[in-house]
Chains A and B, each alone.
Chain A
Amino acid sequence: MLTISNLHAGIEDKKILKGLNLEIKAGEVHAIMGPNGAGKSTLASVLAGRQDYEVTEGSVEFLGKELLDLAPEERAGEGLFLGFQYPVEIPGLSTTNFVKTAVNEIRKYRGQDPLDAVAFLKMMKEKMALMNIDQTLLSRSLNEGFSGGEKKRNEIFQMAMLDPKLAILDETDSGLDIDAIRIVSNGVNKLRSKDNAVLLITHYQRLLDYIVPDFVHVLYNGRIVKSGTKELALELEEKGYDFIKNEINEDEEVSIAEKH
């Protein structure tokens, strides 16, 4: 479904992603962990099409198309969804109005007729119940004055409404209380199917108890430096990132020695 090959990206003169490779197949759940500043959110932003980041090398294939050639809205139309680490506040635009426009613009992109008011409302009610969100929150300005947890739940609500092929969730678990983690995980698990995939970015092994990943990767210094199964997350939790850093340093020493 998604193949990232040798991706290099940065901002201004700063190199952030330095030759990243990753393959995600339909039906899989991947988790990316890694220290602060490693480039996790940058990867998510580049995949979603944020213009600030410049891709200098590499390619990303998504469902047979070159993702990097598409505008952000086209990527959404193709089935990509990014749950933001820091959802943006939009004054004067209600979540309802926003989601309705998003749903129908994506339908338009796919050559489908817009949902009528009744069908839209029905779908919204269903997803609201799933995410335990009430109407008053959705009629307020998008994310404005929302608590941290409300913002994250709203992200997953939007995901449920847009029903993406690939959902990238950037620290959606951060700032959630125990009940909310369960609700959000439940929402994500409902989306899981053999046709869909999820990429979780998280710092906490705890989330992975609820959404059990098929693969866990460690992103460090702009690259995936280690991949494994969910046991890797447990190991990281126990040992911290130092053991990975040590492994890498040893590798580098070896490669330097080889050159000489």
Chain B
Amino acid sequence: MNMTELFKDQFAQLQAEDKDSKLSAVREQAFSAFNEFGIPTVRHEEWKYTRIGTLFTKDYKSQVSGKTDFSAKDVDAYRLPGHKEANELVFVNGQFVDKLSTIRSKDLTVLHLAEAAKNEYSEIVSKHFGHSSDYLKDGINALNTAFVKDGIFIHVKRSKIIEEPVYIYNITDAAAENILAQPRSLIYLSENAQLQIIETFATRGTEDSFTNQIMEVIVEKDARFEYCKIQNDSANASQVSTTHIRQTGTSYVNAIIVSLNGEIVRNNTNVVMEAPHCEAHLYGLYFQKGNSHIDNHTIVDNVMPHCFSNELYKGMMDENSTGVFNGKIFVRQPAQKTNAFQSNKNILLSNNASVNTKPQLEIFADDVKCSHGCTIGQLDEEGLFYLQSRGIPEKIAKSMLLVGFASDILDKINLPHIRTYVDHLVAERLGN
């Protein structure tokens, strides 16, 4: 059976099984959008350098079953340092699993999305769920929504500061068969609330996994949202991972993405600044080898005046790896006094590695400060010689230069446990 047929069957099955869900109508709409858009090909402007069609020629197990024999013990292999003082949310094969998750902060509300859709949060859900599809008009985004069933809803009440970070583990069990996992979450920070999320991805087993994730975040007035995504999955794991953040009030956002491994990895990171005086920081570090492909698409949409955004993505590409950076900045007509900065810097460590980088500024206001820049270069030979001339062997000197290059991104990771963890992953990658 081809993929389209399979999705059709699976969709019918899901709608039949889960027909009373509030999400049923949303799914219906998304599935017809999916059929209309189809899987993006390289002819799609936003997918020019990332070929994901091949991922859909694989035979994926039904993505809605959600059944797993994963135990808490099995999760241990994937826990992040500091987890004993953190909230832990576990997704297995794209479905949120209550019994494997631990909520430690008393002010943190975590619900199944379907549940939130019908209780006191229904208004928030209907208002904000699916907003990312206004920005990402492709079959991949629609596919996730078409199959949404057991996502999560995270809510932080007014003036509540969640001290313990939220660790989200996206685990795919590809021990027996190819898996398509589609995690979904909606996160709401009320006025003056604060939340920190750290997210990782892991695949068990050697069959192929494909994760198509969407996280939508709403940040109200005076709230503070900090996010760190660590992508260090195996070479048989691909993903499209969307983080769509709306700053509905004057607020602060910090999003860091560290991408170290995976087959094809595509990140869509969007920040929509819908209130004046918003501040957003977007950082990315990608360090790839083998045949892996990393694609970072970002959108910073300045809708209101006086917003500030700073975007810095840095890449180190080794062996046959390929990279894409596409950074869009929109400045709408009312968004006067916008300050928007963007920079993408790359080091190619092998002759076979490559990067396509493209800034895209669309400015409709006249009184703005925007800058962008991108560089693609080799490792600094002068620097290497300088270090070697001080007695430092070439291999160590190279990794010192690379760690130095990455350091201004790594320095942005606030949680000491996570910083140490990422440092360790980077050192491991450098072979130290």
> Which residues of A pack against B, CB within 8 Å?
48-52, 71-73, 75-77, 81-82, 84, 87-93, 98-99, 101-102, 105-106, 109, 141, 158, 162
Contact = CB atoms under 8 A, between A and B. Distances in A.
A98 B388 contact: no
25 contacts: A52-B381, A71-B393, A71-B394, A72-B385, A73-B392, A81-B389, A82-B389, A88-B386, A89-B383, A90-B400, A90-B401, A90-B404, A91-B407, A92-B403, A92-B405, A92-B407, A92-B408, A93-B400, A98-B387, A101-B392, A101-B396, A102-B390, A109-B391, A162-B390, A162-B391
Contacts of A84: 386
Interface in B349-391: 380-383, 385-391
Contact of A105 (B380, B396, B401, B408): B396
A91 B405 contact: yes
A105 B385 contact: no
Contacts of A141: 404
A52 B390 CA distance: 18
Given A50-B385, A90-B387, A92-B408, A98 B400 contact: yes
A47 to B, nearest CB: 10
A164 to B, nearest CB: 10
A90 B390 contact: no
Given A92-B407, A98-B400, A73 B391 contact: yes
B28 to A, nearest CB: 51
Contacts of B388: 49, 71-73, 76
Given A51-B385, A88-B383, A90-B386, A77 B394 contact: no
A76 B391 contact: yes
Contacts of B385: 48-51, 72, 88
A110 B14 CA distance: 69
B303 interface: no
B260 to A, nearest CB: 18
A71 B389 CA distance: 9
B406 A92 contact: yes
B389 A49 contact: yes
Given A92-B407, A101-B396, A87 B386 contact: yes
Contacts of A76: 388-391
Nearest to A110: B391
Given A72-B385, A87-B386, A93 B392 contact: no
Contacts of A48: 385, 389
Nearest to B382: A88
Contacts of A92: 403-408
A92 to B, nearest CB: 3
Nearest to B411: A92
B332 to A, nearest CB: 35
Nearest to A87: B386
B406 A105 contact: no
A93 B401 contact: yes
Closest CB pairs A-B (n = 3): A92-B404, A92-B407, A76-B391
A106 B391 contact: yes
A78 to B, nearest CB: 9
Interface in B391-432: 391-394, 396-397, 400-401, 403-408
Residue in B386, B388, B389, B404 whose Cβ sees the most chain A Cβ within 10 Å: B389
A77 B390 CA distance: 8
A93 B404 contact: yes
Nearest to B392: A105
B386 A73 contact: no
Contacts of A73: 388-394, 397
Contacts of A52: 381
A90 B393 contact: no
A57 to B, nearest CB: 23
A109 B390 CA distance: 12
Contacts of B405: 91-92
B394 to A, nearest CB: 7
Nearest to A83: B389
Nearest to A78: B391
B386 A158 contact: no
Residue in B383, B387, B396, B408 whose Cβ sees the most chain A Cβ within 10 Å: B387
Nearest to A84: B386
A143 to B, nearest CB: 9
B360 to A, nearest CB: 27
A52 B389 CA distance: 14
A102 B392 CA distance: 6
Contacts of B383: 88-90
A59 B293 CA distance: 48
B390 A158 contact: yes
A135 to B, nearest CB: 19
Nearest to B408: A92
Contacts of B396: 101, 105
Contacts of B390: 73, 76, 98-99, 102, 106, 158, 162
B383 to A, nearest CB: 5
Contacts of A102: 387, 390-392
Nearest to A143: B386
Residue in B391, B397, B401, B406 whose Cβ sees the most chain A Cβ within 10 Å: B391
A105 B389 CA distance: 11
A141 B385 CA distance: 17
A165 to B, nearest CB: 13
Contacts of A105: 391-393, 396
Interface in B263-316: none
Contacts of A81: 389
Contacts of A99: 390
A199 to B, nearest CB: 15
A106 B392 CA distance: 7
A117 B358 CA distance: 46
B346 to A, nearest CB: 14
